[in-house]
Structure 1
């Protein structure tokens, strides 16, 4: 399966367009065709992913056959051109009715007037994982079929050989335990015992490392008002965490380069790999029953992992009849059987308990069940603010600078200044 974060950087650029583009985006006016069904256009970024498209095709065909009032018309874009297509459509006020988007970018689009509230039944949205529901200013604007989750991969045999306690959800590693474990593994012969995924780029940095910061007591922004990053991203807890982060590379525990993905772990070049569910099936195939899917480290304030992935929304310019049909389609599409099919095709965590129970990977006896548990217990969505694209890129720059040896506090202060300047220049984004 492809990394579900691969398009987030592009989506973040889309969010930036919302800062400078038109205040309202409009639909291109799909309408009833001579007494036939009302056509509703739906855009996805899924071209090139046959498994994903097959599930969408099944849902659309079933919905279109189930009634005669609406017809969903699907258009698929490759990842590389989806950004350009949505940007152009928004500027021309010709967004389709149904669009998929990465969850953390949704508040920017809602603030810019690109989206309308979903207005799906509360019984539906309440049944989804919290990180699969996009809420902005008290209203639900997006909802998704699945979520991703992060974990530490390890080999049971390696931990047992080195006398390292296997952490559990109930008793994860403390930071002191984690440091001791990494030190033992380095002494045992691993030149670089830990793969933190630092060779990746873009949204991975916020998705992967801000939960560690949150576990330490900091954050990317003060979520109580979403008006400043001061104290959250550069306070004592943040400085302490990023000092540890820098130490991990300085001490040779982790590398800043290397292959993106899980190959170093599969090849036993590293003992611990901080990675996502999208790499789990390959690791399971290669490592087998020796694979451990471990909970995140507790940096002091409880374990955290990132949450929130691709979700569906309805554009603000979608006409009344089309909007009603879009809602009916979305409500239809959230049946457990479709969410299970999507999950098992893409190896991602289903958004409902019923779909999870039926999944061959994440059900009660599934080999990847632990990921569903980690998502339910530890996942935290990224900040729901229209300024998130700037938050994310500023966080990434600061973290990379620190990794490469920059003084911690000045690097964090620079990120705070960039974030707060953006918020100020946009009049607080209405907060």
Structure 2
């Protein structure tokens, strides 16, 4: 898992266990023919790290074929750079009929790679977070259906804060002060990533009412006065020397928090089972605190979308399977989210029925996700990400002028945005 701004997509699509692509036949082609299936759907997943996930997706596919004998599904498990392999294969006759995708990209829709899913989601829109719906929508049409939500939250050690007489931070000023006060020779106050950057730049600007792009998506706005003021806060954390740097694991892994190397850590809901096993009830989670009185607390939402290949010969069959699994099958959606890893079901009604999120820090995280989550706009691409990242590093670590650096980065990113929209 990666903390750098430029490798956030590698984090979303990375594998912890596998090397190379592995085809996992839910129903092999010969078996499908013998069983009378008229359609064979090819389905791709990235190689999840949680044990049991590959067996689960095969089981789901078999259950679908049992209920729909005319359709068989061949599952392929892809490790390594899933996004690169998917996008190169989508341009060939070997492209899968349906697949999953992490960060949703406008250019994929512009290039005609994804089929719209509005017809299968109609009437269900309110079941999904606005952040996820906006991320997967282009020109009013929906092109991806959320499979599960990953909440990213700020973990804090209750006993450490209580011993120091520190209340749970509600503003960035309180967070910075707490991190400084909790820093000692043995422990740093805050871990946001081994590079000292992580998601913090995004969180800071969002928490001060700023954004990467204007609401209509046609203008870069991360150099607004609100954004400049908030992102300068990252330099404060570095100047205070309250950040844990160069730890052996990155922000997605709870190792630094569990080992007591940091009193607070930004990480994901997926880390909670390991944190609870190590620390019991001695922790809590909150959103990233608001920046100043006019700001608001925020969190990042991650997870994966189910997508149908617009160029497939079996688009309708692929969409029917997506609808069956990710809208109609309540039990299977719960199974996918909490039986292997730890994710919030994307559909709000199912999340409300999932007892694992009924109390304690898990409920706190689910509430954070429901009330404060933000996602990257689908027009925000890797090139823009890289330019922004370079400016952030100079601001945080080299004392560069935040306004000048963000203005310069905004000009470059605007050119890239205009190119996408042309």
Per the TM alignment, residue 71 of structure 1 is displaced from its structure 2 partner at its CA by: 1.4
| RCO comparison, higher one (Cα < 8 Å, 6+) | 1
Q: CA deviation at 1:347?
A: 0.6
SS in 2 for 1:271: strand
Q: For residue 110 of structure 1, what is the aligned residue in structure 2?
A: 109
CA contact (8 A) 1:336 1:352 kept: no
Cα distance, 1:366–1:241 mapped onto 2, change above 3 Å: closer
RMSD of aligned alpha carbons: 2.8
How far apart are residue 198 of structure 1 and its match? Answer: 4.3
Instruction: Give 1:113 shift.
Output: 1.2
Return the alpha-carbon distance in structure 1 between the equivalents of residues 240 and 7 of structure 2.
Answer: 32
Equivalent residue runs for 1:12-51 within 5 Å: 36-46=37-47, 49-51=50-52
**Residue-by-residue CA offset, 1:173-231 (whole Å, 9 max, x unaligned):** 12232233223223x66552111124388xx54xx531321111222122x332221xx
Q: Please name the residue that 2:128 is paired with.
A: 128
Show the 5 A alignment for 1:150-229. 150-166=152-168, 173-186=170-183, 191-199=187-195, 205=199, 209-222=201-214, 224-229=215-220
Distance 1:4 1:412 in 2: 20
**Shift, 1:359, TM fit:** 3.1
Indicate the SS of the match to 2:218. Answer: coil
Quote the residue 1:330 is aligned against. Answer: 322
1:71-127 Cα distance to aligned partner (Å, 9 max, x none): 12211111x14234223313335421102111333x221112111101313233432
In the superposition, the TM-score normalised over structure 2's length comes to 0.84
Partner of 2:17: none
Asked if the contact 1:249/1:255 (under 8 Å) is kept, the reply is: no
Whether the aligned pair in 2 keeps the contact of 1:220 and 1:391 (CA below 8 Å) is: no
Contact 1:154–1:273, Cα closer than 8 Å, also in 2: yes
Structure 1 position 36, deviation (Å): 3.3
Q: 1:273 aligns with which of 243, 265, 273?
A: 265
TM-score, normalised relative to structure 1: 0.82
Of residues 132-141 and 255-264 in structure 1, the stretch that sits farther from structure 2 once superposed is 255-264
Residue equivalent to 2:404: 410
What CA distance in whole angstroms lies between the structure 1 residues aligned with 2:395 and 2:231? 7
Q: Compared with structure 1, are the counterparts of its residues 197 and 11 closer, same or farther at alpha carbon in structure 2 (3 Å cutoff)?
A: closer
2:123 match: secondary structure? helix
| 1:337–1:69 CA distance, 2 compared to 1 (3 A) | same
Give the whole-Å Cα distance in 1 for the aligned partners of 2:168 and 2:288: 12
* CA 1:326–1:8: 2 relative to 1, 3 Å: farther
> Could you report, residue by residue, the CA deviation over 1:29-64 in whole angstroms, capped at 9, with x for unpaired residues?
x9x969632111111112665422222122111101
Distance 1:268 1:36, change over 3 A: closer
Separation (CA, whole Å) in 2 of partners of 1:139 and 1:379: 21
Displacement, 1:410? 2.7
